[in-house]
Amino acid sequence: MLMNIGYAEASKQANYSCYIFHDVDLLPEDNRNIYNCPEQPRHMSASLDRHGYRHVYQIEKT
> DSSP for 20-37?
----TT---SSTT-----
Number of domains in the chain: 1
Say which residue, 20 or 60, is predicted with more confidence: 20
Give pLDDT tens digits for 7-47: 899 999 998 888 888 777 777 777 887 888 888 887 777 77
pLDDT at 13: 92
52: left (phi over 0), alpha (psi -120 to 50) or beta: left
Range of the domain at 34: 1-62
CA-nearest of 62, 32, 57 to 44 is: 32
What pTM does this model have?
0.55
Residues 5 and 21 sit within 8 Å (Cβ to Cβ): no
Measured in residues, the chain has a length of 62
Residue 54 neighbours by CB under 8 Å, 6+ apart: 47
